[in-house]
C-alpha cells in the first residue's frame, strides 16, 4: 500500500533543492509501475498478494489479466467486469478453484488503488517544481496517468517535461500515438523504452514502440526497468534501422545527442561527437548495430573486437 515504512529520516528531510545542490540532474520519475498499477504491480505486488493469500503463484501475464478485469486499463473500478464475467476470467487463469470473484476483486483493488490518487497528485507538484528550478522532469506516461500528464504540460508551459516510456503496454497502439502527438504538440519530450519488448519478450512486445517510431514523434529512448529484464538500447536501434524506420544516424541520436539536449546537466561533455566533447565512443558492427566491436574511453581504445585490452 506504499505506506512509507522504508523511508528514513534522511529521505523524509530531503528536498528537491538539496538534491539538486548535491548533484541530481533531473526530477522524477513522477509516478511509477508500483504506484500507478503498472508493470511492478504485475510482476511483483499482485502476485505477492495472491501468494500470501492463497499460497498460489501467478505469472505477470495472469496478474495483468486480473488487474485489467477488475480495474480496467485506466484504473477505474467502474470499468471492471461484473462478478460473473470476472469468474469466467478466473476460470481462464486457472484460479476458479482457488478463490471467487469478490475475493480476487478485493485483493487486486487493495494492491493497486491506495497509492493512485497520491501518485497522480505528485504530477502537479513535480511539474511546478521543474518549471521553478529549470531542470527536466520525467513522468510515468501510461493509460492511468496520461490525462494528468497532459494537464501538467498545459499548466507548466515553460517546464521541460519528459513523457517516459510513452510506448507503455497499458496503451493500445492508437492511444499511444494520439497521446504522444498531443503531448509533443504541447511541448513535452516523448521518450520510449525498450522494456523487455525487443528480444526478451518476457511480458511485452514491440507493437507500441514500432507505432510511435513510425509516426516520427519520438525524441529519446531509454530502457526502463521491466523487472530487471530490459533489452538494450542498441537492440532497439538495430530494430529501427533494420526495419528501415529510421536512418542509423537518426536512431542513434535518440540515445545520444537528443538525450544530451534534453538533459544538459546530465550530459555535460557527452552525447555528441564534436571538438571539446569527451572522447568516449563505441564502434558497432555495421550489419548488427547491437553488437559492440570497439570501445574508446578518453580517446584510448580499451576494447578491440570485443577483447578487453
Average pLDDT over the chain, rounded to whole?
Answer: 95
Summarised one tens digit per residue, pLDDT across range 148-204 is: 999 999 999 999 999 999 999 999 999 999 999 999 999 999 999 999 999 999 999
Q: What's the rounded Cα separation, in Å, for the pair 136 and 26?
A: 5
pTM of the model as a whole: 0.94
Considering only CA atoms, which of 229, 56, 78, 261 is closest in space to residue 160? Answer: 261
Residues 23-46 have a mean pLDDT of 94
Categorise residue 211: left if φ over 0, alpha if ψ from -120 to 50, beta otherwise.
alpha
* Beta pairing partners, 222: 193
Residues 32-59 have a mean pLDDT of 95
- Sheet bearing 307-308, strands edge to edge: 281-284, 292-297, 300-304, 307-308
pLDDT of residue 223: 97
Residues 272-297 have a mean pLDDT of 94
Q: What's the rounded Cα separation, in Å, for the pair 189 and 101?
A: 41
* Backbone φ, ψ for residue 198 (5° rounding): -90, -65
Amino acid at each position: 500500500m506504499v505506506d512509507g515504512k522504508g523511508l528514513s529520516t534522511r529521505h523524509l528531510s530531503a528536498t528537491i533543492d538539496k538534491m539538486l545542490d548535491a548533484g541530481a540532474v533531473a526530477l522524477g520519475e513522477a509516478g511509477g509501475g508500483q504506484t500507478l498499477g503498472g508493470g511492478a504491480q504485475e510482476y511483483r505486488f499482485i502476485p505477492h498478494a495472491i501468494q500470501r493469500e492463497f499460497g498460489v503463484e501467478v505469472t505477470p501475464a495472469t496478474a495483468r489479466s486480473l488487474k485489467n478485469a477488475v480495474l480496467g486499463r485506466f484504473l477505474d473500478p467502474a470499468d471492471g467486469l461484473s462478478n460473473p464475467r470476472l469468474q469466467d476470467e478466473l476460470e481462464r487463469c486457472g484460479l476458479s478453484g482457488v478463490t471467487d470473484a469478490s475475493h480476487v476483486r478485493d485483493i487486486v483493488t487493495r494492491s493497486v488503488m491506495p497509492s493512485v490518487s497520491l501518485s497522480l497528485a505528485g504530477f502537479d507538484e513535480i511539474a511546478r517544481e521543474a518549471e521553478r528550478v529549470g531542470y527536466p522532469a520525467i513522468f510515468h506516461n501510461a493509460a492511468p496517468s496520461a490525462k494528468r500528464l497532459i494537464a501538467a504540460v498545459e499548466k507548466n508551459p515553460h517546464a521541460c517535461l519528459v513523457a517516459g516510456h510513452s510506448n507503455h503496454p497499458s496503451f493500445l497502439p492508437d492511444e499511444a500515438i494520439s497521446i504522444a502527438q498531443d503531448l509533443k504538440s504541447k511541448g513535452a519530450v516523448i521518450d520510449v523504452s525498450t522494456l523487455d519488448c525487443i528480444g526478451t519478450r518476457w511480458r511485452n512486445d514491440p507493437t507500441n514502440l514500432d507505432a510511435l517510431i513510425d509516426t516520427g514523434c519520438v525524441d529519446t529512448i531509454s530502457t526502463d526497468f521491466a523487472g530487471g529484464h530490459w533489452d538494450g538500447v542498441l537492440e532497439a536501434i538495430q530494430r529501427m534501422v533494420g526495419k528501415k524506420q529510421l536512418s542509423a544516424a537518426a536512431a542513434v541520436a535518440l540515445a545520444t545527442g537528443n538525450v544530451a539536449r534534453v538533459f544538459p546537466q546530465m550530459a555535460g561533455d557527452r552525447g555528441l561527437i564534436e571538438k571539446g566533447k569527451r572522447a568516449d565512443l563505441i564502434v558497432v558492427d555495421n550489419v548488427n548495430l547491437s553488437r559492440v566491436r570497439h570501445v574508446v574511453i578518453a580517446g584510448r581504445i580499451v576494447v578491440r573486437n570485443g577483447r578487453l585490452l
